Amino acid sequence: LIPREDEHLLENASFKKWLDKLVRLLNVEVSVEGEPPINNGLFVSNHISWVDAVVLASINQFSFIAKEEVKSWPLIGPFGQMARTVYIQRQSKFSVYRSLPQLERQLNLNRSLLLFPEGTTTTGRSALPFFPMLYESAVRAKKPVQSIAIRYTDLNNNFLPEVGFVEEDTLFDTLFRMMKGERIIAHIHFLNSIDENSMTRKEMAIHTQKSISNKLLERLRN
């Protein structure tokens, strides 16, 4: 059955309340710098932890792009379903390429897709090189690309590595570190957007990685 418009709005409102409650339970306070200059398109962010998706979803109706195996993760799997995550297979470049029509369709439905183009997580001090393939979906759908830098600090703006989900960490390792510490501030920085006609996908990947890295390094120096 196709939901009525009011049912769809209720669903979004209920999900937003659930997210706000989850963010508080995770001991996180969200601080947003700037506003997204685009209503919909491809959003790209550095990637520190599974917490990134929860925090970002709490401030905008993002649909995430994630690898297929995330579906089975505790907590994150059900969250991904509610956030209308688009799952892709990442066994090879060819399988990633085959996902482009699916992403293009979602963008043409005026969805806001969020991609973590590093393909892995980092400590958050800088960003790794971005894989360019999935930027092609924005080029094909003629949608802009918006950069987001995310970082975590304590209440005194000191860099906070506890939120990281790197190397041999499990989801519960991250949870334990977050819960035993003080209040965590998740800083979300909306940076400049790119017109889809101005660059190739490789140029977009280089440009967005550089702008996000510069923002992270700038905040570490301050």
* pLDDT exceeds cutoff 90 at 81: no
97: Cα separation from own chain's centroid: 20
Residue 222 confidence (pLDDT):
64
d(CA 9, CA 96): 32
Mean pLDDT of the chain: 87
Calculate mean pLDDT across residues 107-124. 93
Q: For 165-180, write each residue's pLDDT tens digit.
A: 987 888 888 888 898 8
User: Where residue 151 falls among pLDDT bands split at 50, 70, 90?
Assistant: very high
pTM over 0.85, yes/no: yes
